[in-house]
């Protein structure tokens, strides 16, 4: 049995979860609260790969996730944006996994998919302005672009953008490294499945030479 040699530690139970979701929410100084639709996140090699909204969970669970986030923001007296990552367990419970007091990778699709982006919402919250609408125009998906896509040369941006419903966002980083987030693609669709298909196919086309 491993020993901590007197150091403090935390025992964590194994969580049998079905999926990860996140709630990006904002709160103002006077307590006004607004949450974006619940996002569902898929990872590859422990890095966020694809996010889509609305999450594939029932309305009751989505409401529970939003209310849980609201309680956390209120309890912590947050002014600004907070992202609450959660696990949905196989028996239908929600467990909080991580808190990120900032705009979040899983919320990047709000730039193109929501009335108000997470970045504008952050500014509104900290400046004491009324919060903007978090309404989703259409189901949407986001795919991260990691540094390995540059290994064979400059990605084929034109090929990715052959689909007029795909948007490209690059972060202006000078050096592409394996595992480094260099940008992302977003897409909308009539369904989340269509949005995910569009954005993942667009990312595959980046490697067309």
Give tens-digit pLDDT for 60-91: 999 999 999 999 999 999 999 999 999 999 99
Please provide residue 107's backbone torsions phi and psi, each rounded to the nearest 5 degrees.
-95, 5
Work out whether strand 80-89 and strand 39-44 pair parallel, antiparallel, or are unpaired: unpaired
- Structural domain boundaries in the chain: 16-107+114-135, 138-209
**Two tokens at 114?**
């929501």
**CATH code, residues 138-209:** 3.30.470.20
User: What is the three-class DSSP state of 63?
Assistant: helix
Helix (H), strand (E) at residue 113: helix 110-113
Distance separating alpha carbons of residues 14 and 136, to the nearest angstrom: 34
**What distance separates the 2 farthest-apart alpha carbons in the chain?**
59
Q: Answer whether 16-107+114-135 and 138-209 agree in fold.
A: yes
Across the range 40-63, mean pLDDT stands at 96
Q: Quick check: 88 and 57 in contact, CB under 8 A?
A: yes
Instruction: Please list the residues that pair with 96 across neighbouring strands.
Output: 86
| Topology of domain 16-107+114-135, CATH | D-amino Acid Aminotransferase; Chain A, domain 1 (3.30.470)
Q: C-alpha angle 41/45/49, rounded to 5°?
A: 35
The number of C-alpha atoms within 13 Å of 129 and in the hemisphere containing its C-beta is 9
Q: Which of 3-7, 91-95, 200-204 has the highest mean pLDDT?
A: 200-204
Closest by Cα among 93, 138, 142, 131 to 114 = 138
In this predicted model, what pLDDT tens digit does every residue of 1-21 receive, in sequence order? Answer: 456 677 887 777 777 788 999
Can you give the pTM of this predicted structure? 0.91
pLDDT top residue among 160 and 14: 160
* Residue-level pLDDT at 1: 46
């Amino acid at each position: 049995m491993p020993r901590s040699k007197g150091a403090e530690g935390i025992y964590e139970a194994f969580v049998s979860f079905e999926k990860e979701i996140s709630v990006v929410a904002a709160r103002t100084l006077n307590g006004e609260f607004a949450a974006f639709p619940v996002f569902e996140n898929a990872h590859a090699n422990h890095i966020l790969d694809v996010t889509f909204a609305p999450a594939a969970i029932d309305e009751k669970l989505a409401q529970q996730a939003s209310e849980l986030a609201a309680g956390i923001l209120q309890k912590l007296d947050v002014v600004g944006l907070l992202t609450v990552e959660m696990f949905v367990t196989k028996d239908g419970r929600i467990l909080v996994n991580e808190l990120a007091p900032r705009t979040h990778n899983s919320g990047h699709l709000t730039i193109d998919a929501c009335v108000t982006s997470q970045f504008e919402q952050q500014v509104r919250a900290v400046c004491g302005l009324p919060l903007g609408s978090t309404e989703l125009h259409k189901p949407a998906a986001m795919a991260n672009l990691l540094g390995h896509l540059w290994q064979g040369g400059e990605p084929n941006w034109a090929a990715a953008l052959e689909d007029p419903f795909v948007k490209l966002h690059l972060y202006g980083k000078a050096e592409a490294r394996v595992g480094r987030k260099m940008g992302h693609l977003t897409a909308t669709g009539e369904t989340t499945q269509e949005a995910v298909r569009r954005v993942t196919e667009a990312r595959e086309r980046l490697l067309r030479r």
